[in-house]
Structure 1
Amino acid sequence: MSESLDDVLDHRTRVGQARRQKMLDRLIEASIMVFAERGLNGTVIDHVVRCAGVSRGTFYNYFDTIEDALETARIALGREVVLLVNDTVDAELPPAKRVALSLHVFIELARQHSLLLEFSARLGRHSFSFGSVLCQVEPGFHADGVQSGAFRDVPEELILDMLEVGTIAILGRVMAGEEVDVEAFVAAMLRVYGLGFEESVEAAMRPDPLVLPSIPDDSLLARGSVAWAKSHP
């Protein structure tokens, strides 16, 4: 039985959409690698197209500016990190333990994946922030913690700003090869929520072992990390 015209057109549409998505993924991966290496101010469109092996015309089929490419890359990589942290954090844990575990997982993922580390540390607040990761993993976590008495009623925006700045600083130290006491950092962040010293130290203890989520081979983080390792032996 021969295919109808509608079937043929539908097949062509699906093939075209798949090709377009594949090219977009290629440009996103290249953008992440270039921004991770050069930072925001050191990146221009020619860097991305050379890394992706495409023409400037192809770039402009998907993005208007280099800032558009950065925003798309930031959202794509951030979405994967959110899902990875979400797969690890038990929603039944007490609020302070959930915050602490999310921080430990986020920092360890960056430590083990140089591409994620460099992208987050170099771009700072232009990258996805830990605060946004936490809000998406645990929507309403701050209000719930305040209501339950686990946290003090500190403005959530202030806490998220401190988490963001603090995490960027820690990732910068890790990138520089410095020894970082992550437990002390996590405890300090928990004290921002209003926990006492001993309570924050206890909640900030890193699980042993710290179980990280498995990363699919076809994920942006996995593919990008492989390409990054090859170009940065």
Structure 2
Amino acid sequence: MTATTLVEPAIRVTGLEKSFGGLHVLRGVDLEVERGSVVALLGSNGAGKTTLVRILSTLLRADADACAVRGIDVARRPEQVRETISLTGQFAAVDEILTGRENLVMIARLRHLHDPGRIADDLLARFSLAGSGGRRVGTYSGGMRRRLDIAMSLIGDPSVVVLDEPTTGLDPQARIEVWQAVRGLAENGTTVLLTTQYLEEAEQLADRIAILHHGRIIADGTLAELRRLLPPARAEYVEKQPTLEEIFLAIVGDEREGTPS
């Protein structure tokens, strides 16, 4: 047995079930997320993605499960799980009256961390927001708010970050800004569980992809492994045309700082 096999996964879910009245949302979900990896959880509306995320982040109790974050049982020791995991929901949880820096400083102070100003400045630089840190968040673009929201979720150095449909409602340029932020998390060794409805998003970001359908994981693997589930591709000559997203970005540019919304 190698040393790798002895490492507890960042997230382990076995037989997870959850019902609301007579509606069975999760019907025995099994999922593992390796430490330092990005796993995308795909599923249509109503598949149970957000319910799973809420259980993992201790906001909701499961009906039946064996569910752990970094080896910590979610149901038995929720307080310890909250110290390990950070959740960013579908809408940016930022204070629009405060500046970007003030938002970060506030969270650092609430966590009783030393030198909140330095923490804020480091995160602003990391997420390419240093030039906008002194502006009110109400003037930020959608992508900038989302990046600030993700930066706020990293205060306290959580080892596991859950992003629940982080690019919902964002324009193409803002989505790419968020993708860059997620890649930065992975490069720094943070474990990321990403729920999304966008197939391209999963293809761009994920080490592994799990497909949740009618409350169960029906496929789980790398993109290459999932491709092998289909018949072999037939080679044909196709003239590649630029995608609409490529055309959009070529016309408007790719400005990291954004402009006031």
TM-score by length of 2: 0.25
TM-score (norm 1): 0.27
Q: Which structure: greater strand fraction?
A: 2
Higher helix share: 1
